Amino acid sequence: MTFISSKIWSGTITCSMIAIVAAPLSAQQKTSTANPRPEETEVWTPVPAIVTPGVTDAVAPSDAIVLFDGRNLDEWVSARDKSPAKWVVANGVVTVNKPSGDIQTRRSFSNYQLHIEWRVPADITGTGQERGNSGVFLATTPVGGYELQIVDSYNNKTYVNGQAASVYKEYAPLVNAMRKPGDWQTYDVIWTAPTFKGDGSLATPAYVTAFHNGVLVQNHVALTGVTKNEGTPDYHKHGPAPILLQAHGDKSAPISFRNIWARVL
Ligand code: MG
């Protein structure tokens, strides 16, 4: 072991050195296992960032991106042509303008936490999917999106993987937590974006956890691809993507939204 005593050593670590260094640690580990101290499992850094929560869930935490606070649609554009969003803002609420089509965020997101509130009109008409249909596409891409369904599911029967809080045509909600038409509903969502390999194939699927009115309705479900009304979902490589709100073509009165914010994860 002559090289250890050298003043300047830039050689390679040898197996015998590792053995010498490792031996005392093994002894210490044995001692710790036999007689552990609380300090050995305390972690002090990194310290989590301080976030000031809103006074209610409707108010964005201090680190959130406010997507709609009742004043304007500056954070949104028309999905059709990326022109300024033309849905109707009044009294702190934005209401779907069906002829102008879907709207989407100007920003693109990967993983995030989303809070959004929505209301089906008290005088809603129609049945099944034709009753207050809208949706939150958790990511919208040129090759498809992933829809968390919005529709009136208060005493309104439809296929269960298409009712409110379903991941449309992929996962029915765990329970129906719907409030009656005219009442505000909340979605709180954790979105984990899918990842892709260099060749475009899927590396890890998208995951959704969602609460409807504070009730868990999707528990870290792994999506099988982009939402399809006909056929089975599939994946196509994409990167960060906008969030989209659906202007559905049903004949019922348009629904409204308020208090929309997201936290990048
Ligand atoms: Mg929909």
> Any idea which residue has 């308020």 for tokens?
258
Residue span of the structural domain in which 215 resides? 65-264
**C-alpha 246 – ligand 1 centre gap (Å):** 6
Per-residue pLDDT of the chain (265 residues; tens, 9 = 90+): 333 333 334 444 443 444 334 444 444 455 557 899 999 999 999 999 999 999 988 899 999 999 999 999 999 999 999 999 999 999 999 999 999 999 999 999 999 999 999 999 999 999 999 999 999 999 999 989 999 999 999 999 999 999 999 999 999 999 999 999 999 999 999 999 999 999 999 999 999 999 999 999 999 999 999 999 999 999 999 999 999 999 999 999 999 999 999 999 9
> Which of these, 115, 95, 91, lies nearest to 103 by C-alpha position?
95
What are the tokens at 36? 């552990």
Cα(228) to centroid(ligand 1), Å: 11
Q: Determine the Cα–Cα distance for residues 156 and 92; give it in Å rounded to an integer.
A: 28
Q: 57 in a domain, yes or no?
A: no
CA of 45 to the centre of ligand 1 (A): 44
Please tell me the distance between residue 47's alpha carbon and the centre of ligand 1 in angstroms.
41
Expressed in angstroms and rounded, the spacing between residue 174 Cα and the centre of ligand 1 is: 18
Number of domains making up the chain: 1
| Distance from Cα 162 to the centre of ligand 1, integer Å | 8
How far does the centroid of ligand 1 lie from the alpha carbon of residue 248, in Å?
Answer: 6
Distance of CA 136 from the midpoint of ligand 1 (Å): 8
Query: Does 14 reside within a domain?
Result: no
Q: What is the CATH number of the domain that holds 121?
A: 2.60.120.560
CA–centroid distance, residue 196 to ligand 1 (Å)? 26
Is the residue at 137 inside a domain?
A: yes
Q: How far is the CA of 135 from the centre of ligand 1 (A)?
A: 4
Is 222 contained in some domain? Answer: yes
ω into 242 cis (within 30 of 0)? no
User: What is the whole-number distance in angstroms between the Cα of residue 187 and the centre of ligand 1?
Assistant: 14
Residue 157 lies in a domain: yes
Going from the Cα of 265 to the center of ligand 1, the distance in angstroms, rounded, reads: 26
8 Cα to the center of ligand 1, angstroms: 70
| Distance between Cα 149 and ligand 1 center (Å) | 5
SS3 call for 98 = helix
Under a CB-based contact definition with an 8 Å cutoff, are residues 125 and 158 in contact?
A: no
> Does the CA dihedral 192-198-201-203 come out positive or negative?
negative
Span from the CA of 223 to the centroid of ligand 1 (angstroms): 17
Q: Is residue 97 part of a domain?
A: yes
Q: What is the DSSP letter of 100?
A: G
pTM score, two decimals? 0.86
**Please, are residues 76 and 103 in contact by the beta-carbon 8 Å criterion?**
yes
> Which of 76, 69, 104 is CA-nearest to residue 245?
104
Predicted confidence at residue 244, as pLDDT, reads 98
